[in-house]
Amino acid sequence: MADTKPKKLVFTRQEMFEINKKTLNKRGVQLEAIAEICYQQQSKYSDDVSRDVCMESVEKILSLRDVFHHIQLAAEIDRLAEEKMFQGPIQDIIYEDLGMFGIDETMGLDVAGLYGTIGQTNFGDIDVNKHGIVKRLNDAGKEDGICHTFLDDIVGAIAAAASTRVAQILNEDLAHEDTGVKRFSIFDIK
């Protein structure tokens, strides 16, 4: 019998946020842990960063359609790899998180790229230095039966995008202060 269940393809931003949050929680990721990476990254450049603005940024990014598609696909690829559902060499390549496999990073760069080159640079930092939850996911992914090949990059990319959004908010605040005194830029490298 044909599948008569109506298909739902488009979701509101609120729905996408809720589904993303549920998916991430199910895969062991709390939003606070993503916001924490964002906080650690931006508080290096400014004393004005609050955990609230980091969390707000994470939530906003989780409601974007592009991000929704990335998270949903990434989480499913990892799950299917855990269940050994892929055929051919790609099953072991994904499951073993082969170092030279880079499509997970491509997806991460794509998400971080929503916030431009700075977003991608911030993603590079998180990817290489494996902050907080990204390191925990990466380590847990080495255990038997667990695959985090795509999840660690997606989580790092959400943190990078949120971090860049926070930087933009702080820059906007700075631009509004008409003091005539040259202020620091949070993009300055110390």
At closest approach, how far in Å is the CB of 108 from Mg ion?
A: 8
Of the pair 17, 132, the CB lying nearest Mg ion is at: 132
Q: Are 117 and 165 in contact (CB under 8 A)?
A: no
Which residue in 136, 159, 24, 153 sits closest to 97, CA to CA? 153
CA distance 46 to 126: 18
Q: Give me the half-sphere count of Cα atoms (radius 13 Å) on the Cβ side of residue 165.
A: 24
CA distance 105 to 124: 9
Q: How far is CA 94 from the centre of its chain?
A: 19
Of the pair 36, 152, the CB lying nearest Mg ion is at: 152
Q: Are 63 and 14 in contact (CB under 8 A)?
A: yes
Neighbours of 159 (CB within 10 A): 32
At closest approach, how far in Å is the CB of 179 from Mg ion?
A: 44
- The residue whose Cβ lies closest to Mg ion is 104
Of the pair 149, 164, the CB lying nearest Mg ion is at: 149
Of the pair 36, 104, the CB lying nearest Mg ion is at: 104
At closest approach, how far in Å is the CB of 149 from Mg ion?
A: 5
Q: Are 38 and 162 in contact (CB under 8 A)?
A: yes
Q: Give me the half-sphere count of Cα atoms (radius 13 Å) on the Cβ side of residue 88.
A: 1
User: Footprint of Mg ion on this chain (CB under 5 A)?
Assistant: 104, 149, 152-153
At closest approach, how far in Å is the CB of 153 from Mg ion?
A: 4
At closest approach, how far in Å is the CB of 137 from Mg ion?
A: 9
Of the pair 49, 160, the CB lying nearest Mg ion is at: 160
